[in-house]
Chain A
């Protein structure tokens, strides 16, 4: 059974960086795309970024393009999200999610990691 576990969340000041990680197990990691999706408190879901199964293709939402960077390590079954120049509106629970190789939907999710951007 697929399992995704996020780590690295916390409280950070505006303008500072933070790095989230997601450890995967229970499936062939290199067969799947990995995504980051966030949910602001009491709000809906917002897709942020995807990295292809081989790490060669990356896409970002306009809201984070140029500030966030996704990466993966297929030898260690991890995916990361480097978040720079954080803003208060980036406050949210950040989910790591698995997607089929060629479709952008999410068939397995982590429990999420809360990021609070506040001075």
Chain B
């Protein structure tokens, strides 16, 4: 199985600042035939299910603020949240879907 490792495990950032969460996979998530990275990011607030933020490593889902951006390729990826707001407090997960079974990172807890 592909192992997904996020860093840091927790992160405290001031309002209005930038938060960056990293995700590393044990195998490349880049599929050469379509040049796409099979990685998504989710946000999970307490007591709620995860919410899809970004697919294909960089494509923001409809309705997701443009403060959220994804980057990276191959085995190293990042989620950047700019102009941090109180509502961004959550646990963030990366997940690969390049190979079955789909696997998640352990999560990064973002606090203000």
| Chain A residues engaging chain B, CB cutoff 8 angstroms | 44-47, 59, 61-62, 95, 97, 103-112
Give Cα distance in the complex from A106 to B42, angstroms.
9
Asked if B49 and A105 sit within 8 Å, CB to CB, the answer is no
Q: Which residues of A contact B40 (CB under 8 A)?
A: 105
**B interface residue numbers (CB < 8 A to A):** 38, 40, 42, 48-52, 55, 61, 93, 95, 97, 100-107
Q: Which among B93, B95, B102, B103 has the highest number of chain A CB atoms within 10 Å?
A: B102
Secondary structure at the A interface, as helix, strand, loop or mixed, is loop
Can you name the residue of chain A whose Cβ is closest to the Cβ of B52? A107
- Contact partner of B38 (CB less than 8 A), chosen from A47, A103, A107, is A103
Please give, as numbers and ranges, the residues of chain B lying within 8 Å of A45 by CB-CB distance: 42, 50, 93, 95, 104, 107
Please name all residues of chain A whose beta carbon is closer than 8 Å to the beta carbon of B101 when the two chains form the complex.
Answer: 47, 59, 61-62, 104
Q: Can you name the residue of chain A whose Cβ is closest to the Cβ of B41?
A: A105
User: Residue A105 contacts which of B48, B51, B52, B106 (CB distance < 8 angstroms)?
Assistant: B52
Evaluate contact between B104 and A109: CB separation under 8 angstroms: no
Most chain A Cβ neighbours within 10 Å, of B51, B61, B101, B104 = B101
List the B residue with the shortest CB-CB distance to A93: B49
State which of B61, B97, B100, B104 has its C-beta within 8 Å of the C-beta of A44.
Answer: B104
Beta-carbon nearest neighbor of B49 in chain A: A109
Smallest beta-carbon distance A109→chain B, Å:
4
B4 → A minimal CB distance (Å): 10
